[in-house]
Amino acid sequence: MADPLTDGSALARVRSSLLSWFATDHRDFPWRRTTDPYAVLVSEVMLQQTQASRIAERFPIFMSRFPTAAALAAAGEAEVLVAWSGLGYNRRALALRRAAREVARHGWPQGVAALERLPGIGPYTARAIASLAFGEPVGVVDTNVRRWLVRRFGLRADRPPRDLQVLADGLAEAGHRADVAPWTHATMEFGASICTARNPRCNICPISDECPSRGAATVIPVPRQAAFAGSDRAHRGAILRALTRAPDQRMTMRVARGLVPPDAVGRLVAGLERDGLVHRSGARLVLGGAPEPAATIGS
């Protein structure tokens, strides 16, 4: 079997088949209708750890409230956290705001390496923005894409991530620049809806004819998440949820103790403070990090 990293004809066939499939058979999400880099950034941050169907409801609301990077940059932390409430992993919202502030000040960085220097932006998100917003032919490898690359090209499940990135880049570079965004969407949609982790739909797969894993799909191991109920993450979420609903996004520590195990409240609040999600003002807990000290004259 030819090395998939260098077999140009195999890459071209996969590209052609997936693009034809995606053109007629894919889920319609609002973030797929735009190449605005800010909208791409917001959607990609939201989609981390949260199901696409849920984001489909919340993305338009968030974008209506903060339609540009400048609008998000100008908003207070508490306002952003209220808008984010219910999506989980609230530190994402603060990182998104910090990235928006950098963009509002300096404009959009050009290239994957420069995009990675934005707060909270890793290699995956940087590549997604580069390809979907700026048309750079770079591969975007998430869990879904990794799964189908391993299966379709007959790779070992423990193949080094670098090899998979090289393969994804080769696929991205094998087509026309006009196809960059559709190709990136197609790769992610295919893994999410056809080449799924369990019970892959090989019977309707557009690239199954040459797939060595057809009918015997490799199960790609993924780390198991700890149970949510009763976890620190659940308790932190309860405190933050109550704050987003409280008048002026404030509440007493006494109220906080009624939301979580009393012996854990101090530790939980301290963790939220370290993450910049809350701060204390006297006897009250306030949503958002502590206000920055006012600049002194001449500083």
What domains does the chain contain, in order, with CATH numbers? Answer: 8-210 (1.10.340.30), 232-287 (1.10.10)
Residue 118: which of 27, 44, 204, 10 has the closest Cα? 44
How many CA atoms lie within 13 Å of 56's alpha carbon, on the beta-carbon side?
A: 8
Buried b / exposed e across 140-157, counting CB within 10 Å, b at 16+? bbbebbbbbbbbbbebee
Residue-level pLDDT at 178: 87
Q: What span, in angstroms and rounded, lies between the C-alpha atoms of 181 and 136?
A: 9
Residue 169: which of 189, 183, 150, 148 has the closest Cα? 183
Buried b / exposed e across 43-69, counting CB within 10 Å, b at 16+? bbbbbbebebeebbebbeebbeebeeb
Which of 85-94, 135-144, 156-165, 209-218 is the least confident region?
209-218
Q: Nearest 5 degrees, angle CA 38-CA 40-CA 41?
A: 65
Mean pLDDT of the region 130-134: 98
Residue-level pLDDT at 299: 37
Q: What span, in angstroms and rounded, lies between the C-alpha atoms of 149 and 153?
A: 6
167, 147 contact by CB (below 8 A): no
**Which residues share a beta bridge with 250?**
286
Which amino acid belongs to residue 147?
A: R
Mean pLDDT of the region 107-134: 97
Strands 284-287 and 250-252, how do they pair?
antiparallel
3-state secondary structure of 121: coil
For 4-57, give the DSSP string.
TTT-HHHHHHHHHHHHHHHHHS----GGGG---HHHHHHHHHHHTTS-HHHHHH
Residue-level pLDDT at 9: 86
Tell me if residue 57 is catalytic: no
Which of 201-210, 230-239, 267-276 is the least confident region?
230-239
User: pLDDT tens digits for 150-165?
Assistant: 999 999 888 899 999 9
Residue-level pLDDT at 298: 43
| Banded model confidence at residue 1, pLDDT cuts 50, 70, 90 | low
User: pLDDT tens digits for 36-69?
Assistant: 999 999 999 999 988 999 999 999 999 999 999 9
Residue 138: which of 96, 207, 187, 211 has the closest Cα? 187
Q: Considering the chain, what is the average pLDDT of its residues?
A: 90
Is it the case that residue 99 has pLDDT exceeding 70?
yes
**Annotated catalytic residue, options 44, 77, 136, 189:** 44
3-state secondary structure of 211: coil
157, 221 contact by CB (below 8 A): yes
197, 220 contact by CB (below 8 A): yes
User: pLDDT tens digits for 7-16?
Assistant: 778 899 999 9
